[in-house]
Structure 1
Amino acid sequence: MAVAPRLADLAGQFLGTPLPLRVRAWDGSESGPPGEPVVVLRHPRALRRVLFKPGELGLARAWVAGDLDVEGDLYRALDGLSVLVHGDRPPMTGRARLTAFRELLALAGRPLPLPPPPPREEIRRRGGAPHSPRRDRQAVSHHYDVGNDFYELVLGPSMVYSCAVWDEDTASLEDAQAAKLDLICRKLGLRAGDRLLDVGCGWGSLALHAAQHHGARVVGITLSTEQAALARERVAKEDLADRVEIRVQDYRETADGPFDAIASVGMAEHVGAARYREYADRLFGLLRPGGRLLNHQIARRPLPDESAYRVDPFIDAYVFPDGELAPLGRTVSLLEKAGFEVRDVESLREHYALTLRRWVRNLEGDWSRAVRLTSPGRARVWRLYMAACALAFEHARLGVNQVLAVRPTPAGDSPLPLRPRTWTEGVA
């Protein structure tokens, strides 16, 4: 019997329903409902990767290595594969499970060799406790120090690596990112001469916008040497070196407060649950009384048993090592415990899905160059990661929120307007 029909039949046994995708195997056989995306297994090695590491990580390794591919709509294919990985499975007897496993072993090739080594794009951790400064630098370097030209290809000229803010009239990704940068500055109430700390400043886009359009004096910090190098070039090009300073520095090492405002955009996901209170305390201490914090952070849905939370294995191995997501309620609670008064929370979930789809379009539209700038495996990591995340935001498995908080003054008076959302029209 040809390979693809056997694989489709086995998948149906595990799911209790036919696999909602077509399958093409290395022997050229194909099976599955017509018109659906095709999951292509180019080599028995793809099956071996899944057998040695069942679930998401095995599939991801096969994808990154190029042993597994998709023809057709990638988003629909990922939805179908998520059913195979995360869907409810009907009970199977031990005998039926053993028979199916033996069938998979036979398809993978006998005698079964040692497990294929992970693709080289998978991180090799080199010691250090999770979320220690040393380990955080290693994680940030793995994700960000892959070439500024590659990031510009994906992100576009704005070089903003967080969700844009869209409306019905937004013409481009660059316009949507400019709207997001200005929204942050207005929420922070920036005025000429205000001192802003940009935690996780990336390639300097927010720092430049705050200095150019709001007259702020900005300190931007990042752990990525490549980000810092390009950010400094951009600052010099705009002749803003007297107002913008870019540092390669951990937020735990920043000690030259007080600041009038702090922006932390897409950085807190790297902090970790065990360190989050330390993070909140640190930012609180760096703000002057009455100063504002804008914390822009991805959130996950809360679990019935929070101790059951596990970091996504693909994201941890290939994208954001040691990254952790928390429910929004926990983030707000820890900011409040640090002393902040939380004044506004805005969800931008749908905005991130739109942004990610634009990034995927940029990557796919210049695929050959993306591969030249990094590697075939790294480009495949990014395509999978961004497309899967777009679906997670669309299906409300993930959210992203801007939390506006204030360090209270001793008298308890607030520098914000009486109506919280009037910061969109200016500061009272």
Structure 2
Amino acid sequence: MAEAARRLTALAERALGAPLPVRVRAWDRSESGPPGTPVLIVRRRRALRRLLWQPGELGLARAWVAGDLDVEGDLYEALGLLAGFFWERDDAARPTGPTAVLKALRDPEIRAVGRELLKLTGPWTPPAPPAEEARRAGGPLHTLRRDKQAISHHYDVGNTFYEHVLGPSMVYSCAYWESPESTLEEAQRAKLDLVCRKLALKPGTRLLDVGCGWGSMALHAAREYGADVVAVTLSEEQAAYARKRAAEAGLADRIEVRVQDYREVSDGPFDAVSSIGMAEHVGSARYAEYAAGLYALLRPGGRLLNHQIARRPLKDEDGYRVDEFIDRYVFPDGELAPVGRTVAQLEEAGFEVRDVEALREHYALTLRRWVANLEAHWDEAVRLTSPGRARVWRLYMAASALSFERNRIGVNQVLAIRTPESGDPGLPLRTRSWN
């Protein structure tokens, strides 16, 4: 079969109804498609079986993670060219469940493509998912046990791996860029400082840092603003790392790091709460509880800074949505909602929302720096985790950067206050001065 690439290209264009915008190189080294474009490498026929058994984004993701698919050339360009055929297709045209898939397979054109693909696949058996796919317990979403398991899947892959990706700041959330020429460390420090100023931290302020990661926010708040910090995470590895950093900085007396679910924190009130890149894990079933719980932990006049990724709303719908690749390989059980829904639920819990700042472009810049860090330390990242895990991260961060750039998703800092009975929120008249 010396012309597998030509046949694959023809079948893909027949199924997608448009010319394939990238070149294809097949397992027999044949090539087909437009020259001068990124090359989609189909290393093994098993990639086709993955797509036939799980059409769409999940099949593609499994083939990528397993190394059955690869890209030669600019990964961002390749993802951008293919986006309109897969993850940016009109949702009404995308099969989303067994019934929809069966309906699509009844189409004579699709059936014909399927028969042709069968001739190329080799043994007709369903390939096992890559080992990097999340294994989850059954039962309801977002129980204490299931959330801890989901967090462990993503974060407990080794602190050294994250050092290579995130750099010295060890901040795993959107940075705040003065210009694209700033360093990642400068931009992350600016983000932490922005949060501290929005929360009006000062010596003696009692801060709860929810989802504290490797302790960077807690360290900045204690060192630069004199705050007393309770930092909580569900990751054992993160907690150990954060405690070590606090001790080395001489701040162990001001920073308490706990392996604890935010729902189990009972020693309020706090003057301020920071939740940076954590609320995406909460989910629709628990978001009202999350908002009410943080409201209850604040003293009257206390402030919440909620830094959270959002997705664009769909027509006649404002709820949550799960991305298959992200759910299976990156953030199990994570859910994104439109920012309007987040603001509404914070208000329903009793908060007065005083400021919403969109940082979409800032996250795109941050992700591109993380991808560059990963690529610069690729061999070490593979050694520390696995080839599949490193591939998960490269794809997820590059695709996410494009999603932010194309306004598919955004990220917002929402400042909310538990307004005291006097009605005075304690804010400056010109809020954005944050002093």
Give TM class, smaller chain. over 0.9
C-alpha deviation, 1:18, in angstroms? 0.9
Q: Which amino acid aligns with 1:392?
A: S
* Aligned counterparts of 1:170 and 1:357: Cα–Cα separation in 2: 13
Could you say which residue in structure 2 is the equivalent of 1:148?
A: 159
Is contact 2:320–2:337 with CA below 8 Å preserved after alignment?
no
Aligned: 1:38 with 2:49: no
Q: Which moved more, 1:161-170 or 1:269-278?
A: 161-170
Q: Which moved more, 1:193-202 or 1:79-88?
A: 79-88
Q: Which amino acid aligns with 1:368?
A: D
* Aligned counterparts of 2:160 and 2:105: Cα–Cα separation in 1: 50
Could you say which residue in structure 1 is the equivalent of 2:81?
A: 80
Alignment of 1:32-71 (within 5 A): 32-71=33-72
Could you say which residue in structure 2 is the equivalent of 1:5?
A: 6
Is contact 1:128–1:134 with CA below 8 Å preserved after alignment?
no
* Aligned counterparts of 1:95 and 1:297: Cα–Cα separation in 2: 44
Deviations 1:105-126 (A, max 9, x none): 11112xx432110000001112
Deviations 1:242-299 (A, max 9, x none): 1000000000000000100000000000001111010000000000000100000000
Is contact 2:25–2:42 with CA below 8 Å preserved after alignment?
yes
Q: 1:241 aligns with which of 247, 252, 274?
A: 252
Aligned: 1:313 with 2:324: yes
Aligned pair count reads 422
Deviations 1:396-425 (A, max 9, x none): 0000000001101011111101111121xx
Q: 1:401 aligns with which of 387, 407, 412?
A: 412
Q: Which amino acid aligns with 1:53?
A: Q
Is contact 1:11–1:84 with CA below 8 Å preserved after alignment?
no
* Aligned counterparts of 1:386 and 1:380: Cα–Cα separation in 2: 10
Deviations 1:181-215 (A, max 9, x none): 00000000001110000000000000000000000
Q: 2:361 aligns with which of 343, 347, 350?
A: 350
Q: Which amino acid aligns with 1:269?
A: E
Could you say which residue in structure 2 is the equivalent of 1:335?
A: 346
* Aligned counterparts of 2:197 and 2:377: Cα–Cα separation in 1: 35
Alignment of 1:275-294 (within 5 A): 275-294=286-305
C-alpha deviation, 1:311, in angstroms? 0.8
Percentage identity across paired residues of the two chains: 69
Is contact 2:239–2:258 with CA below 8 Å preserved after alignment?
yes
Q: Which moved more, 1:15-24 or 1:343-352?
A: 15-24
Q: Which amino acid aligns with 2:396?
A: Y
Deviations 1:34-67 (A, max 9, x none): 1100000111001111111000010000100011
The verdict on how the C-alpha distance between 1:169 and 1:19 changes in structure 2, with shifts beyond 3 A counting, is: closer
Please give the TM-score of this superposition, normalised by the length of structure 1.
0.96
Q: 2:113 aligns with which of 78, 84, 100?
A: 100
SS at match of 1:306: coil
* Aligned counterparts of 1:308 and 1:152: Cα–Cα separation in 2: 35
* Aligned counterparts of 1:41 and 1:305: Cα–Cα separation in 2: 39
Q: 1:183 aligns with which of 194, 197, 201?
A: 194
The verdict on how the C-alpha distance between 1:347 and 1:366 changes in structure 2, with shifts beyond 3 A counting, is: same
Q: 2:423 aligns with which of 383, 390, 412?
A: 412
* Aligned counterparts of 1:308 and 1:96: Cα–Cα separation in 2: 34
Aligned: 1:322 with 2:333: yes
Q: Which runs of 5+ in 2 are unaligned?
A: 95-103
Is contact 1:38–1:71 with CA below 8 Å preserved after alignment?
yes
Q: Which amino acid aligns with 1:340?
A: F
C-alpha deviation, 1:305, in angstroms? 3.8
Deviations 1:112-158 (A, max 9, x none): 43211000000111234210000000000000000000001000010
Is contact 1:198–1:221 with CA below 8 Å preserved after alignment?
yes
C-alpha deviation, 1:93, in angstroms? 8.9
* Aligned counterparts of 2:150 and 2:206: Cα–Cα separation in 1: 29
C-alpha deviation, 1:97, in angstroms? 2.1
Is contact 2:242–2:257 with CA below 8 Å preserved after alignment?
yes
Alignment of 1:183-202 (within 5 A): 183-202=194-213
* Aligned counterparts of 2:264 and 2:407: Cα–Cα separation in 1: 36
SS at match of 2:86: helix
C-alpha deviation, 1:95, in angstroms? 2.6
Q: Which amino acid aligns with 2:416?
A: A
Please give the TM-score of this superposition, normalised by the length of structure 2.
0.94
* Aligned counterparts of 1:308 and 1:413: Cα–Cα separation in 2: 33
Is contact 1:12–1:19 with CA below 8 Å preserved after alignment?
yes
Is contact 1:170–1:176 with CA below 8 Å preserved after alignment?
no
Alignment of 1:249-268 (within 5 A): 249-268=260-279
Q: Which moved more, 1:161-170 or 1:64-73?
A: 161-170
Q: Which moved more, 1:301-310 or 1:179-188?
A: 301-310
* Aligned counterparts of 2:144 and 2:319: Cα–Cα separation in 1: 26
C-alpha deviation, 1:170, in angstroms? 5.0
* Aligned counterparts of 2:289 and 2:319: Cα–Cα separation in 1: 23
Deviations 1:218-245 (A, max 9, x none): 0000000000000000000001111000
Is contact 2:193–2:220 with CA below 8 Å preserved after alignment?
yes
* Aligned counterparts of 1:81 and 1:66: Cα–Cα separation in 2: 18
SS at match of 1:404: strand
Is contact 1:159–1:203 with CA below 8 Å preserved after alignment?
yes
Q: Which runs of 5+ in 1 are unaligned?
A: none
Q: Which amino acid aligns with 1:11?
A: A
Could you say which residue in structure 2 is the equivalent of 1:373?
A: 384
* Aligned counterparts of 1:222 and 1:136: Cα–Cα separation in 2: 11
The RMSD of aligned alpha carbons is 1.6
Is contact 1:192–1:215 with CA below 8 Å preserved after alignment?
yes
